[in-house]
Amino acid sequence: MKESLNESTADWRRIFGALANEETRRSYAQVILGIDSDLLPARREKALKNLQAAGLVTAEGLVDDGVYARTLTVGATRAPKDGIARFLDADGRIDRYPKNQEDRVELLQAIGAKAIQHGEELKEPDLTLRLENLADDAVLLRRYLVDYGVVIRRPDGSAYRLADGSD
């Protein structure tokens, strides 16, 4: 489960998600203004839970004035990604393929080196299993690795190895 915004992280998506709901937004305004809610008790309770989950309101039902500063700080401290990291998610999996051919080859070479050791030969199911840890579509990734010359497939299709001169 994600950490609470009151701890160390702030997630702007949770804040916007909570404030996108009219009743939750109205309840937040009422908490800020210190006025009684005009919502039915069950709806008020649900709105407060949403506000608390987003970190906008504390467990005691008070406005958390620091949530916006924390959210901005978290967003500002992220360094821009460069190199192949631009195309990987936080878990190191491919989240998109580069349009630029040089970037695509660089990405595929790095992924090939992660999936197959120098001098190692893998059967198709074994390679596919490893590639599933690196991309959502392991079969497409395997095809790209072959098409871009990063991986060599035996003529009968039974095994794969890196095209790194380790033959």
The 3-state DSSP class for residue 122 equals strand
C-alpha span between 153 and 150 (Å, rounded): 10
Given pLDDT bands bounded at 50, 70 and 90, which one contains residue 6? Answer: very low
Q: How far is CA 86 from CA 8, 15, 38, 81, in A?
A: 25, 26, 47, 5
Q: What is the pTM of this model?
A: 0.54
Q: Note the pLDDT tens digit of each residue in 37-66.
A: 999 999 999 999 999 999 999 999 899 888
C-alpha span between 63 and 48 (Å, rounded): 11
Weakest mean pLDDT among 52-61, 144-153, 157-166 = 157-166
Task: Output DSSP code: residue 7.
Answer: T
CATH tag for 83-162 (out of 1.10.10, 3.40.50, 1.20.120, 3.30.530): 1.10.10
Domain boundaries, the chain: 12-76, 83-162
Q: In the predicted model, is pLDDT for residue 30 greater than 50?
A: yes
